[in-house]
Structure 1
Amino acid sequence: MYATSLGADGAELCPLQPWQAEEFLAHVDRGREFIGRFNGLPDVVTDVASARSFLTAYARKEADDAGLIRGIRLDGTLVGAVILRRFDAAQGTAEAGCWLEPAAVGRGLVTRAARLLIDWAIRERGIHRVEWWVSSGNAPSIAVARRLGMRKEAVLRESYLYRGERHDEEIWSVLAPEWTGGPRAATT
């Protein structure tokens, strides 16, 4: 299996495949409560079969050029992931997302992993716009969007019903010229 280094701290970005369902479930179980504060993943991944189904759905998305998932490992242990939840090469748009278990928080792992993913999407695949949808209450994820140079474009008031409560969602984005320092970067 191949991996991309995220720095000198032993962190790596690597593929997640359906055959890794047991490890993926163990990761979700370690962070179930923490991840579930703003992310529905723990409600979907509840056993090995559902973990395999989730990873299979992303394997299909990747095969269809419609999304992908990459695991974040710290010293070989799966501690989080970044995803391209939506990926439309023809339209030049994508939506990135992430999660971490509590033991991995505060190390910059998501920022580093998302930076690699966005850079690949823009530079290698020609994506023009990458979005980051986040609950207004998720301050750490909003901080990642800021560190990535994204701009807050909108607040969708009470647009997301999650666990019986309505949440505001923020949409952040970065455009390819802003990311690469192209002609529009200086004026935006």
Structure 2
Amino acid sequence: MYAISLGDGAELRPLEVWHAEELLAHIDRGRAFIGQHVGLPEVVADLDGARAYLRSYADKRAADAGALHGIRQDGTLVGGLLFRTWDTPSGVCEAGCWLEPAAAGRGLVTRGMRVLLDWAFEERGMHRVEWHVSTANQPSINVARRLGMTREGVLRENYPHHGKRTSTEIWSLLAPEWRMARSGDAQHAH
């Protein structure tokens, strides 16, 4: 079982089917907060829903079509990072995230996504990583900015959520941009 340190007692670890009870407890702690912009709390409404969600990502991983990772703070599951879609032939994937309120504002998503972006671009040869975010979700938009992504446009009222239509910003990062930013980081470190 891998665990990648994100610093300050935080780790990135796989989320597996056998984590269903823990996932449900985590979603319950942050249900209203997590559900402000995404439908995950409706999907993980109960233990069966948690198992089905985790199984769907186990199936995606087996098919090389997506992946799910948990963010743990001092051993407790506090959020998730995922590749919702992953298409190796085209070199395009979509990344996403969620956090419970107690874990927000600490840079956990940004630090964890840097690990996953490095893996996607350098290990797996992806060319483009997309970030789809509600126009009302400023914290997630801020993550896209911190990761060096470019805002490409808005899908107007494309997502029905809690009885109203919300709009989605599309952000992306290309492999050459990532490498340029990483080489700049290395130069600043010296």
TM range (shorter): over 0.9
Q: Distance in 1 between matches of 2:40 and 2:154?
A: 23
Asked if 1:40 corresponds to 2:47, the answer is no
Unaligned runs of 5+ in 1: none
1:181 is paired with a residue of what secondary structure?
helix
- 2:187 corresponds to which residue? none
1:6 is paired with a residue of what secondary structure?
strand
- 1:2 corresponds to which residue? 2
- 2:122 corresponds to which residue? 123
Q: CA deviation at 1:4?
A: 0.3
Q: CA deviation at 1:141?
A: 0.2
Q: Which amino acid aligns with 1:113?
A: G
Q: CA deviation at 1:32?
A: 0.3
Q: CA deviation at 1:39?
A: 1.0
Instruction: Give runs of ≥4 in structure 1 deviating > 2 Å.
Output: none
| Percent of residue pairs identical | 63
Deviation digits for residues 96-129 of structure 1 (CA, Å, limit 9, x no counterpart) = 0000000001100000111111111111000000
- 1:175 corresponds to which residue? 174
Q: Distance in 1 between matches of 2:83 and 2:171?
A: 14
Q: CA deviation at 1:168?
A: 1.1
Alignment of 1:70-89 (within 5 A): 70-89=69-88
Unaligned runs of 5+ in 2: 185-190
TM-score of the two chains, using structure 1 as the length reference: 0.95
Q: Distance in 2 between matches of 1:122 and 1:145?
A: 16
Q: Distance in 2 between matches of 1:44 and 1:20?
A: 15
Q: Which amino acid aligns with 2:69?
A: R
Alignment of 1:84-103 (within 5 A): 84-103=83-102
Q: CA deviation at 1:142?
A: 0.0
